[in-house]
């Protein structure tokens, strides 16, 4: 037995003695645990050790811990075990952390090991350890997009810090400007944050400036009437600030409403789009694809992700993307169809305004078509718009009246 293996095993002796003293494991079981740990340590110290050896070691320790907790719960319920905290209560986290520390040191390029380590730390809620792991991981692999996204998601979803998540995304883009996935994920984050902020405001009854003004005017008109109603406590500005301060990163500069505060409309995400599309085009590696094809396909991806945020003004967001295309490729039929059909892009045919909006889109299409001089362009525009309308006809649940209207419009094209 090497000196290193002997040293590592000696570190676990106090823990095993504590387990035996508490009556959670007998002497025979303690010997079996020591024997298995000896086998694992020999395997890890050998030249031919593999990442799987570390994973199996961690899994074994996890099974031992599950058994310890199960026995502790059963015995403590009948008063047969000393419940005073001792070394065996926290040895598991330290031991498995040490296993993973050695694993990532020996196999720093194996991302599966890193993911397992982070997953373990999250499960144990070892937040300080998680920060150290991510710091080490990102320093070693600054071009790993998945690692940056994982770190940002941890800050946003687990810690609740949108500010830190945003910092991570922006720092990640400095190292990975050519990553489309990173740009799109960052955009999704910004839109998700605004959606969550507005949702919290509605749930907690936090009033925007406009709503507060309307509420005060309504109270003034009804003053002296309905005196028998219970008076609810009003929300003052100081109380509003206090409630916002209890929310993670609900910055005071996000007060107001989407009409008065561009940030609440999603303008940060739109800025990300503006920078993204120009940056990625400059760095594009495929020289065979045209500028139009590249930018059009990228814009479609942005439009697709914006479609999912029904809590925001999607038409406002998507108009910005389409306007970008219209400024550069206004004669492209596919771009024109995007602009023409935007008002009904996210409107269900079951919506009572659908028919009116569809007719408005058709008028806009006819106006575009009348401006075109090239017959080929007219034919292509007609084909693209008809293709869009036919998607509705393929839906069997659409009402017959609406179906007939779409058919009539198609004939007029």
The pLDDT of residue 232 is above 90: no
**Mean pLDDT computed over 85-98:** 95
Return the pLDDT at 217. Answer: 52
- Report d(CA 217, CA 112) in Å as an integer: 60
Q: What digits encode the pLDDT tens for the residues 62-72?
A: 999 999 999 99
Going by pLDDT thresholds of 50, 70 and 90, the confidence category of residue 218 is: low
The proportion of the chain whose per-residue pLDDT surpasses 90, expressed as a percent, equals 66
Q: What is the pTM of this model?
A: 0.83
**Residue 301 pLDDT:** 98
Give the mean pLDDT of 207-215.
Answer: 51
- Does 176 or 285 have the greater pLDDT score? 176
**Which whole number is the average pLDDT over 155-172?**
92
How many Cβ atoms are within 10 Å of 235's Cβ, its own excluded?
16
pLDDT score of 277 more than 80: yes
Query: Is the pLDDT confidence value at 211 over 60?
Result: no
- Span 93-100, average pLDDT: 97
pLDDT bracket for residue 212 (50, 70, 90): very low
- Has residue 86 got a pLDDT over 60? yes
């Amino acid at each position: 037995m090497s000196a290193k293996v002997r040293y590592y095993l000696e570190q676990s002796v106090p823990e095993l003695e504590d387990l035996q003293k508490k009556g959670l494991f007998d002497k025979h079981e303690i010997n079996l645990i020591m024997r298995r740990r000896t086998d694992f340590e020999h395997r890890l110290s050998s030249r031919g050790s593999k990442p799987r050896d570390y994973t199996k070691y961690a899994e074994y320790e996890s099974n031992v811990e599950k058994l310890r907790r199960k026995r502790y719960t059963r015995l403590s319920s009948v008063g047969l075990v000393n419940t005073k905290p001792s070394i065996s209560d926290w040895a598991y986290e330290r031991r498995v952390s040490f296993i993973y520390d050695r694993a990532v040191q020996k196999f720093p390029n194996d991302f599966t090991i890193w993911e397992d380590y982070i997953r373990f730390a999250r499960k144990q809620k070892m937040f300080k350890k998680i920060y150290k792991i991510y710091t080490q991981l990102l320093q070693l692999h600054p071009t790993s997009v998945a690692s940056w996204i994982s770190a940002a998601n941890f800050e946003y979803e687990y810690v609740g810090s949108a500010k830190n998540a945003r910092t991570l995304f922006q720092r990640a883009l400095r190292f990975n400007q050519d990553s489309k996935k990173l740009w799109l994920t960052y955009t999704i984050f910004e839109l998700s944050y605004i959606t969550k902020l507005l949702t919290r405001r509605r749930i907690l009854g936090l009033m925007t400036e406009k709503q507060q003004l309307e509420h005060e005017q309504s109270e003034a008109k009804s003053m002296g009437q309905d005196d028998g109603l219970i008076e609810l406590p009003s929300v003052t500005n100081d109380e509003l600030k206090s409630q916002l301060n209890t929310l993670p990163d609900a910055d005071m500069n996000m007060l107001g409403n989407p009409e008065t505060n561009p940030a609440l409309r999603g303008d940060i995400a739109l800025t990300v789009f503006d920078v993204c599309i120009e940056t990625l085009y400059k760095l594009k590696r495929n020289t065979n694809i045209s500028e139009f094809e590249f930018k059009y396909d990228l814009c479609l991806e942005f439009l697709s992700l914006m479609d999912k945020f029904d809590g925001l003004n999607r038409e406002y967001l998507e108009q910005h993307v389409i306007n970008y295309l219209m400024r550069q490729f206004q004669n492209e039929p596919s771009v024109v169809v995007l602009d023409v059909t935007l008002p009904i892009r996210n409107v269900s045919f079951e919506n009572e305004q659908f028919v009116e909006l569809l007719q408005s889109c058709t008028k806009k299409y006819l106006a575009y078509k009348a401006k075109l001089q090239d017959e080929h362009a007219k034919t292509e525009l007609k084909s693209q718009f008809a293709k869009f309308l036919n998607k509705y006809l393929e839906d069997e649940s659409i009402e017959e009246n609406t179906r007939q209207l779409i058919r009539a419009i198609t004939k007029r094209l």
